[in-house]
């Protein structure tokens, strides 16, 4: 495909702090988001994702001042999500320094929002975050979409919903496997591969990245264009430069920024 694969650290934000859990629960503190953002930009991350994970549940807007603070220390693309349910707030977040907007629960509730955001901001600025979980219903295995930080099951099937998002103008899908989230046992390769072949927009895979081998597997066995992870980066288990070096050695096309000295 020729396009270089992207490595994206994700800051899950709760009460102004970075947190991380397993399968969406059991959150623990992972540090100051501004410091972490600064560190990832310096380490050569390709992009940064900021998700205010309780904004929807607490029925409030994303933390605009914090977005502004993080954007001020970044020189890489920056995606912000959490509680964004209209174009006005989305524009405010872009104005605060975000490059892209991620929507999840609000898009499921009112899919027209995707088209409105795409019309106003351009498709390249609209990321639809999809939290998916594999369910056994009768004798069928179905991938279902969940909302509200993984708390509520919807009637949407993941693949059909992602296809609809693309039709409505999404520029990218951030696919998080709830079954794999925080486990560090590897990405959900099967659904990631199916989706990345069906859709013409980039798929960011999230949930389960624990080792360089998992990222290598993701990029060699699926058409995902990016791998997103949190705890392995936040807790220093696998620093971004080290991961990129290992991927280059494994023959994966990765962007290598000059200043990291890889």
pLDDT (tens digit per residue) in 199-231: 999 999 999 999 999 999 999 999 999 999 988
155 domain residue, yes or no: yes
Residue from 12, 143, 181, 193 carrying the catalytic annotation = 12
| Residue 211: closest CA among 227, 195, 190 | 227
261 domain residue, yes or no: no
In the structure encoding, which two tokens stand for residue 241, read together? 């430069």
For the question of residue 221 being annotated catalytic, the response is no
**Which range marks the domain in which residue 238 is found?**
6-255
184 domain residue, yes or no: yes
Residue from 46, 52, 131, 181 carrying the catalytic annotation = 131
CA–CA gap between residue 242 and residue 228 (Å, rounded): 15
The total number of structural domains in the chain stands at 1
228 domain residue, yes or no: yes
pTM: 0.90
For the question of residue 181 being annotated catalytic, the response is no
pLDDT (tens digit per residue) in 22-54: 554 556 666 688 888 999 999 999 999 998 866
pLDDT (tens digit per residue) in 126-159: 999 999 999 998 999 999 999 987 889 999 999 9
35 domain residue, yes or no: yes
CA–CA gap between residue 167 and residue 153 (Å, rounded): 23
CA–CA gap between residue 153 and residue 144 (Å, rounded): 7
260 domain residue, yes or no: no
Give the chain's end-to-end CA distance (angstroms, integer). 24
User: Is the pLDDT assigned to residue 260 strictly greater than 80?
Assistant: no
25 domain residue, yes or no: yes
Q: What is the CATH number of the domain that holds 109?
A: 3.20.20.70
């Amino acid at each position: 495909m020729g396009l270089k694969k992207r490595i994206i650290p994700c800051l899950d934000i709760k009460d102004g702090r970075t947190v991380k859990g397993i399968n969406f629960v059991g959150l623990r503190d992972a540090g100051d988001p501004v410091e972490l953002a600064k560190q990832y930009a310096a380490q050569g991350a390709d992009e940064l994702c900021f998700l205010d994970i309780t904004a929807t549940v607490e029925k409030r807007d994303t933390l605009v001042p914090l977005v502004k603070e993080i954007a001020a220390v970044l020189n890489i693309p920056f995606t912000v999500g959490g509680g964004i349910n209209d174009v006005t707030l989305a524009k405010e977040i872009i104005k605060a320094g975000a490059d892209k907007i991620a929507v999840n629960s609000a898009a499921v509730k009112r899919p027209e929002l995707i088209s409105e955001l795409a019309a106003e901001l351009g498709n390249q600025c609209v990321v639809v975050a999809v939290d998916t979980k594999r369910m056994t219903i009768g004798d069928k295995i179905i991938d279902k979409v969940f909302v509200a930080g993984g708390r509520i099951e919807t009637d949407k099937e993941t693949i059909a919903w992602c296809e609809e998002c693309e039709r409505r103008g999404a520029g990218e899908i951030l696919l998080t496997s709830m079954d794999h989230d925080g486990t560090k046992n590897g990405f959900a390769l099967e659904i990631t591969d199916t989706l990345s072949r069906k859709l013409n927009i980039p798929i960011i895979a999230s949930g389960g990245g624990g080792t360089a081998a998992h990222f290598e597997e993701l990029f060699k066995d699926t058409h995902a264009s990016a791998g997103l992870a949190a705890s392995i980066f936040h807790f220093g288990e696998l620093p971004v430069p080290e991961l990129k070096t290992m991927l280059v050695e494994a023959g994966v096309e990765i962007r290598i920024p000059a200043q990291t000295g890889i």
